[in-house]
Chains A and B, each alone.
Chain A
Amino acid sequence: MNFPIWELGAAGGGLLVALIAIFHVYIAHFAVGGGLFLVTSEHIAYRQNDAHLLAYIKRHTKFFLIVTMVLGGITGVGIWFIISLLSPQATTILIHTFVFAWATEWVFFVGEIVSLFLYFYLFNKISRKLHLALGWIYFICAWMSLFMINGIIGFMLTPGDWITTRDFWDGFFNPSFWPSLVFRTAFSLLLAGLYGLATAAWEQDPEVRRRLVRFNLVWLLLPFVLLVPSGWWYLQVIPKASQLMILGGNPQIPSFFHVGYTVCVLLVAGGLLMALRLPAYFHRALGIILLVLGIGSLGSFEWIREAGRRPYLIPGYLYSNGILVAQAPQLTKGYLAASGWNQHANLADPIAAGKELFRGQCSACHSIGGLRTDIRPLSAAFGVMGMESLLTGMGKLYGYMPRFFGTPQERHALAQYVASLTPRPEEPTATLLHENQTIPVFDPENTPYVLLAWCTLGEKCISDCDAHFSFLPPGSALTAQLIRRGPLPELVTEGVELHYIAPAGHEHPSQHVEFWKYAQSLVGKTIPANTSAKGLTPSGTLKKMDGAAVFVADGIPALPYRDDGAIDPYPVWRVEARNATSGAVLATTQVVLPVSTEIGCKNCHGGTWRRIGAMGIAASTASDVLARHDRRHKTTLLPQAKAGTPVLCQSCHPDPLLKAQGKPEVLNLPAALHGFHAHYLADRPGAEACHACHPTGPTSYSRCARGVHAQRGISCVSCHGTLEDHALSLLRAEAAKPSAQRLLTGLKPRLVASVEEIQPRIPWEDEPDCLACHQNFTPQPPRNASAFNAWARGASALYRNRSDDAGLRCPACHGPTHAEYPAVNPVHPQRDAIQPLQYQQTAGPIAAKGGCAVCHTVPMDVEFHHENILAGANQ
């Protein structure tokens, strides 16, 4: 960043370095091994008095001279040129740190040139002894060049103690110096054989050719004896982080491993094939093919070595994008302003600023529309939101890319720029359904029963990408209590039946999602159409819970999709209490079964809503989710899905919601989802991170936060904490699992000072305790009160399961979580307040505004249900 950055567009991303470097090293190693080959072969030719071999060596020397001096020598300077253009910061560090190593290498370079010229031009013109001496001097100079360069190249992978001592020798004789030297020496000998095979193939005499080929074959094959153990040794000495990177941490590397050893196998096979008695043209063609193939072997090794350094150019000292590690903390206060080479530090033109940020932080590895790690397809799935999330999480969990260095505003500008490179068509926004709402009639004078019903969750979410995966199959829970009115009302549980009746258009959920098609694969059994995994149908009977005066229908297959094509996240079910014997209707009411498929995977995983502009997980989005999961966790979920056997996420991830055991060593699903994504959605203001995935945002289609808390500006964060806090609370409960430890290290709490202060919680079993704010049932706690970190422990302590002293469940009077009375429903303002309006003509909690008469036929002045009930009721 201290230097200007060459804007290369399609040719960017290190392509030029790769091209020149791979070409050069392929020749440079030949220049070393080939030197030994020449002089020892010449010696053998003299000893065996083999004129053919000697003539061949002379011819080969000419080829050697032109290849190594012209192509090798100049491309060596070429590497120097290109790295100084693409990574001037790294180059200047290498030059200043190792100036006398370079200078020493230059002396050997001079020696190489002088000795090789003399060796070539005086072939057969001076004494054998002197000629051999020249050959040996050449080889020694060439190998010493390798010795010197090897120290500097090794430094870039394993700087070792230099990081702390800054001592030349610590950097030069770094941990990988010796294995690398042996490995490269072996490779150079192998290449001598490989190049030799190619030139030997041009020998006219078939017998001589065959003999020469066999001679060269020994050079090709023998070095493997040294190559394999030194390769293993090499891998052992590099730091754990680089090892992990090489062994798969960097997703680009495994394919180069495959290329490397496949090419080696082909070289051996091809070399052996050449040893056969074959026509000259075949020998020549094969010789050239093997020579070209050989690039793949050394090229993949160099590539792996380079990629193993990620996210650094010099591990621990300089990042891949030329940012010094020591400089990085300062840059988080503003990257653009830190260098005079940027003109848009004020962010007035965010795209131009983003372009400068891309140039500075991304272009070292990413091209735009080119061959090397093209940013366009890589970012095509992301909009601005997704890209910004990626930038936020970059370098935290997966170390092959550096973190983003800059302010949140700069990060946003960069996201805008990258998103602008692959503009996505604007997805139309569907308008939320608006419908009338009729309130059932209640005659307080003559009606003996009050029927209260609520959905257990304020919003039941369904993952409707069943062909790919499922983690929230259809199945809403409806709870109801029947009260016989009187001076001392009582809860009725005997002699009655409670029925729930689906609204028109919601009777055929199986027509709208593919859960039933894939049920066998997802939940292990075939399920009749329109029946949930728990056996419930859209209309049916609520069952009385054992030991509680409560009726429950847990598993109603409710969907937001209506038969007429409308998308209604708030369908209204009818509930009736009937005399069990006569069937006479005793009481009736209506209740919203809030249900949504608005899960925002598409914000980062690409695609659109399955139902354009509204909700649902589209196939392309789901595929991307699985592809990334497969890549990160070595699973085969996407191929499985394509084969028609998608899985339920909870088949591996335990989840109390579905009472799924999963695999004990795997994180529970909420911990995994929140723990992972919190790295990417960190630092966002308020509940913005929550809105990214949940249908809670004010501009979402479902707008599920509609209760009294939401109306008063109390957000998700007030009770659950920010996403980071929330994720940490879930991860802390899973801390014994290795993957939890990994996720925990990258997250910082925002509402408390340290991770240790966060109280662990089990999802769905430990939830924010209402009484943390509403202490002693105080109706209106202080505005800044927070329930975060004050968990109600265990199922019986939860708001949805707790009863007052009269046996009434909290939601019976206060409404479900997230839709607490008086809630305002986006489809119709009264839809979430049907029962309060039905029974007391006001939308507040049951019995609000002095409405004890809903159940009590005489005035009440005793706080029987819970403390402070009268204070609340009189508001």
Chain B
Amino acid sequence: MDAARLIPQALAVPIHPGWFVVLQFVTLILHFLAMNLMLGGSLIAFALSLHRPQNPTPSTYALATKLPFTIAFAVNFGVAPLLFTQVLYGQFLYTSSVLIAVPWISVIGLVILAYLAAYLVDFRFSLLGRLRPLIFGVMAASLATVALIYTTNMTLMLQPDRWTAYFTNPSGTISNFSDPTLLPRYLHFVLASVAVAGLGLAWAAHFGIANLPPQWLGHGLTWYAGATMGQYATGMWFYSALPTTVAHALGGGEFLPTFTFAIGAILGLASIATALQRRLCATTWMLLMTVVLMVGLRDMVRDLYLAPYFSVYQRTITHEYSPFLLFVIVFILGLGTIAWMLRAVWLEKTSEVQP
């Protein structure tokens, strides 16, 4: 079976694909940050709630009150990159989604479940008592499952040769566990979320958000350092499991992937050191740079996988610019409005204007 025969035709795009690559890249970084805070936060919150179920720490409460925001923004910031990914890689993504349709659609139910659980612990934190670990557990498990489903889809979309599984199972329940990259990739991303959430906690402690005590700055950075070390282990595993052509490109075969990979790895390693030294700003800057590089590397890996079938830049362009202009204008106005709202609220709160 020629796998290329299974790939649907790519549709035309209104403007140069490079624009979509950039838009996807930027919005995906935003999504990853929010998503990491959400997933990592729920995992840390679950771990903390297990520690002293009856007498929760302030950090547990702080997490409980902030997790609904992280879910809202993780979902919202996920919409844009998913949209642009569909523009660029729709023929691959739709196909792999159909192959795993049952788990893929269950993402919606799982996120709703996690969201409801998040609001439950937010609005009923004290009343829940011993049930808190259970609710946090439901939230963490739901979101961790969503992550696994996403990882499955993102790996399956890259490998049309695996799509032939459809012929024996067209009911949307195909798994991709036989892909050796699936598990390390999944763990690598889950650990990333714990690291980012740990850093988030450190910042919350720094600003005293939700009465989080100052010592949590150190705790947060410890979570960060530990999770990042774990990422190194899973990252190596992930790398060793990559197909030879992709691994070769990252391991010296091609300049840009190799360079990005190397710098990202070095920055990550350095951030462990700064985290252990309790240097919040330095760690954060290095993390942000690492995220940018790793998102870029992720894109390169995807294109290396798909290289035998498809180049993202070989597309028919319809040169329809006015809708793009509409988006840019609304985007700028939207950012301005959000900035105005936050500023106005900030000014009132700081000047203590009474309602």
Residue in contact with B170 in the complex, picked from A5, A69, A75, A106, CB distance below 8 Å: A5
Residue in B9, B72, B112, B327 whose beta carbon sits within 8 Å of that of A2 in the complex: B9
B210 proximal to A (CB < 8 A): no
B308 to chain A, nearest CB (A): 16
Counting CB contacts under 8 A, is A118 at the interface?
yes
Contact of B91 with A by CB under 8 A: yes
Minimum CB–CB distance from A423 to chain B (whole Å) comes to 23
> A96-B12, A100-B324 are known contacts. Are A77 and B83 too (CB-CB below 8 A)?
no
CB distance from B286 to the nearest CB of A (A): 28
A-B contact pairs, 14 of them (CB 8 A): A4-B170, A74-B75, A82-B108, A84-B94, A88-B8, A92-B11, A104-B327, A118-B341, A118-B342, A126-B348, A126-B349, A128-B355, A134-B341, A168-B322
Distance in angstroms between the alpha carbons of A73 and B114 in the assembled complex:
13
Q: Please, how many angstroms separate the alpha-carbon atoms of A104 and B108 in the complex?
A: 23
Chain B residue at smallest Cβ distance from A88? B94
Q: Which B residues are CB-close (under 8 A) to A117? A: 69, 72
Interface residue A133 (Cβ < 8 Å from any Cβ of B): yes
Residues of B206-222 contacting chain A, CB below 8 A: none
Chain A residues whose CB sits within 8 angstroms of the CB of B72 once the complex forms: 69, 73, 113, 117
CA distance A359 to B172 in the complex (A): 13
> CB within 8 A of B172: which of A85, A88, A92, A341?
A85
- The answer to whether the Cβ of B55 comes within 8 Å of any Cβ in the partner chain is no
With the chains together, A738 CA to B330 CA distance in Å?
53
Partner of A126, one of B5, B84, B353: B353
Distance between A96 CB and nearest chain B CB, rounded to angstroms: 4
The segment from B40-48, B97-105, B185-193 found at the interface with A is B97-105
Which of B56-64, B239-247, B297-305, B331-339 forms contacts with chain A? B331-339
Within 8 A of A (CB), among B69-99: 69, 72-73, 75-76, 78-80, 82-84, 86-87, 90-91, 94-95, 97-99
B348 interface neighbour in A73, A108, A130, A168, Cβ under 8 Å:
A130
Q: A81-B104, A122-B345 are in contact. Are A168 and B320 (CB under 8 A)?
A: yes
Majority secondary structure of chain A interface residues (helix, strand, loop or mixed): helix
Judge whether A111 and B355 touch: CB under 8 Å: no
**Which one of A75, A80, A104 lies within 8 Å of B330 (CB-CB)?**
A104
Contact with B along A346-368 (1 / 0, CB 8 A): 00000000000001000000000
Chain B, interface residues (CB within 8 Å), range: 35 or more
Interface, chain B (partner A; CB < 8 A): 1-2, 5-6, 8-9, 11-14, 20, 23, 69, 72-73, 75-76, 78-80, 82-84, 86-87, 90-91, 94-95, 97-99, 101, 104-105, 107-108, 111-112, 115-116, 119, 123, 163, 166-167, 170-172, 318, 320, 322-324, 326-327, 330-331, 334, 337-338, 341-342, 344-345, 348-349, 353-355
Contacts A85-B101, A118-B341 aside, 17 further interface pairs with beta carbons under 8 A come to: A3-B95, A4-B99, A6-B98, A75-B112, A77-B75, A82-B105, A84-B94, A85-B98, A88-B8, A103-B84, A104-B331, A114-B341, A117-B72, A118-B342, A126-B348, A128-B355, A168-B320
Q: Is the pair B111, A95 in contact by a Cβ cutoff of 8 Å?
A: no
B119: nearest chain-A partner, CB-CB: A66
Are B323 and A95 interface neighbours, CB within 8 A? no
Asked if residues B79 and A109 are in contact (CB atoms below 8 Å), the reply is yes
Q: Chain B binding site: helix, strand, loop or mixed by DSSP? A: helix
Complex Cα spacing A117 to B345, Å: 12
- Is A618 an interface residue when CB atoms closer than 8 A count as contact? no
How does the 8 Å CB contact mask read for A326-354 relative to B, with 1 for contact and 0 for none? 00000000000000110100000000000
Whether A96 and B13, one on each chain, are in contact in the complex, defined by CB atoms closer than 8 angstroms, is yes
Rounded to whole Å, the gap between the CB of A812 and the closest CB of chain B is: 67
Is A241's beta carbon under 8 Å from chain B?
no
Contacts of B349 in A (CB 8 A): 125-126
The answer, among B83, B101, B172, for a CB contact under 8 Å with A99, is: B83
